[in-house]
Structure formats: structure tokens, C-alpha cells
């Protein structure tokens, strides 16, 4: 139904990654409305993103993090590292340091959430900046294999693969829920 998932905790997706890699730009393409209460707590900005995937509508609660709210949340029990039921880890293909940070975030997640089998998608964003690419698609893919997560390259500016990214997230969440 239309309200499918609105109140279901397992639809909370957290975006992680270095400043400037394009997290807010990616979520801006699908966000519908902002959760004021969460924004006021400033732990993360929370958006509703509703997608029709395989003939079924699902609303994700997407939490967009940044440096400020990550620092603020790091000591608290409601850190984005603990809150998410699924994660999108973003780096920029034009910024090798952000690629290395993505690996660190994956390791941190594994440490924080050891026993859980959490859906994670590694995202190489800014593929439109062809001439300033520093991380190849092969490197991204290999990293995802090592870290046992899905991988996709996107361009928020061209809106390339962004739909596919969020659809992939919905499918992964559904698979876990169904215990497949
Ligand atoms: P955040 O700090 O991770 O939330 O990154 P933002 O979404 O604020 O984006 C940082 C900057 O990168 C902004 O100037 C965006 O316009 C730009 N940006 C984001 N995604 C892309 C992309 O796919 N391609 C290009 N060329 N620029 C992008
Ligand atoms: Mg941002």
C-alpha cells in the first residue's frame, strides 16, 4: 500500500562518506519531505524517498550525514553508525582520499555492527568528471568484493545510475526481510 514501510524501522538508510563526495546531491534527487524533528536534533537530515520497485512502492527514510552531525553523534548511542538498517557509503571517483575513507567507514561499520548482516552499497560518485578521475571502476569493484557489499558508480549531476542505486537498496532490504 501507499503507507508501506512508513513506520518500519528496517527502512532506515544512512549515507556515509567524506565531505564533498555528493551525498546530499544524491539524496536530493529522490527526497520528498524532510523529517523536521530529526533535523532539529541535528544528528542527521532525514528524508522520505519513495520508489516504485518491481511493482511495489517502498518509502525509505534516508539519513544524510555530514561532518558536523557525525562528530556530534559519535559519542551518543544514536550515532548514524548504530541507527542505520542499511548503508550507502559514498566516495568521489575524483578523490582518492575519499575512496580510502570509504574503506575505513566499512571497517568501522563492521566493528560497530559485527553480528549483523547489514545491506551496504559502495558508491563511486561524480563519474561525469572523466578527466579528473583518480579511482578506476575496477578498483571500486574490487573494494566492494573485499568488503562484501554491492557496488555502483553514479553521477548526481547527470542523474546517472541514481535511480538504480536506490532501487538496489530497496531490493537488498527486501531480500533480507524475506530471509532469502
Ligand atoms: P556532500 O558533502 O557529500 O553532501 O556533497 P554535496 O552533495 O554537497 O556535493 C559537494 C559538491 O560536489 C557540490 O558542489 C555538488 O554540486 C558537487 N557534486 C555532487 N555530485 C556530483 C556529481 O555527480 N558530479 C559533479 N561534477 N559534481 C557533483
Ligand atoms: Mg551534505
Residues 26-63 pLDDT 10s: 998 877 666 666 555 556 678 888 889 999 999 899 98
Least reliable range by pLDDT among 38-52, 86-100, 127-141, 152-166:
38-52
How many angstroms separate the alpha carbon of residue 176 from the centre of ligand 1? 31
Q: Which residue has the cell 531490493?
A: 171
Ligand 1 atom 24: the closest Cα is on which residue? 126
In angstroms, the CA 113 to CA 91 distance is 21
Q: In this structure, how many other beta carbons lie within 10 angstroms of the beta carbon of residue 70?
A: 16
pLDDT, position 177: 79
In angstroms, the CA 34 to CA 179 distance is 31
Mean pLDDT, residues 80-99: 94
Whether the CB of 16 sits within 6 Å of ligand 1: no
What φ, ψ does residue 152 adopt, rounded to 5°? -155, 145
In angstroms, the CA 82 to CA 70 distance is 12
Residues 6+ apart with CB under 8 A from 110: none
> What digits encode the pLDDT tens for the residues 4-21?
444 454 689 999 999 999
pLDDT, position 138: 98
Q: pLDDT-based confidence at 2, cuts 50/70/90?
A: very low
**Percentage of the chain lying above the pLDDT 70 cut:** 82
- pLDDT of 100 > 80? The answer is yes
- C-alpha dihedral (173, 123, 63, 40), degrees to nearest 10: 180
Whether the CB of 128 sits within 6 Å of ligand 1: yes
ipTM over 0.95: yes
How many angstroms separate the alpha carbon of residue 23 from the centre of ligand 1? 7
pLDDT, position 3: 43
pLDDT, position 19: 95
How many angstroms separate the alpha carbon of residue 174 from the centre of ligand 2? 27
Q: Are 144 and 112 in contact (CB under 8 A)?
A: no
The secondary structure of residue 155, as a DSSP letter, is B
Q: Are 90 and 123 in contact (CB under 8 A)?
A: yes
Q: pLDDT-based confidence at 1, cuts 50/70/90?
A: very low
Amino acid at each position: 500500500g501507499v503507507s508501506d514501510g512508513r513506520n518500519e524501522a528496517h527502512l532506515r538508510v544512512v549515507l556515509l562518506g567524506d565531505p564533498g563526495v555528493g551525498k546530499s546531491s544524491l539524496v536530493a534527487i529522490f527526497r520528498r519531505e524532510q523529517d523536521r524533528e530529526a533535523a532539529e536534533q541535528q544528528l542527521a537530515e532525514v528524508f522520505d524517498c519513495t520508489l516504485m520497485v518491481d511493482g511495489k512502492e517502498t518509502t525509505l527514510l534516508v539519513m544524510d550525514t555530514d561532518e558536523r552531525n557525525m562528530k556530534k553523534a559519535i559519542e551518543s548511542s544514536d550515532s548514524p553508525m548504530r541507527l542505520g538498517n542499511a548503508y550507502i557509503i559514498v566516495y568521489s571517483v575524483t578523490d582518492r582520499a575519499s575512496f580510502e575513507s570509504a574503506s575505513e567507514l566499512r571497517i568501522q561499520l563492521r566493528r560497530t555492527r559485527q553480528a549483523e548482516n547489514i545491506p551496504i552499497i559502495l558508491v563511486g560518485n561524480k563519474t561525469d568528471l572523466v578527466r579528473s578521475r583518480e579511482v578506476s571502476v575496477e578498483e571500486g569493484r574490487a573494494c566492494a568484493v573485499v568488503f562484501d557489499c554491492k557496488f555502483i558508480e553514479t553521477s548526481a549531476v547527470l542523474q546517472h545510475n541514481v535511480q538504480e542505486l536506490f532501487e538496489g537498496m530497496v531490493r537488498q532490504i527486501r531480500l533480507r526481510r524475506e530471509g532469502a
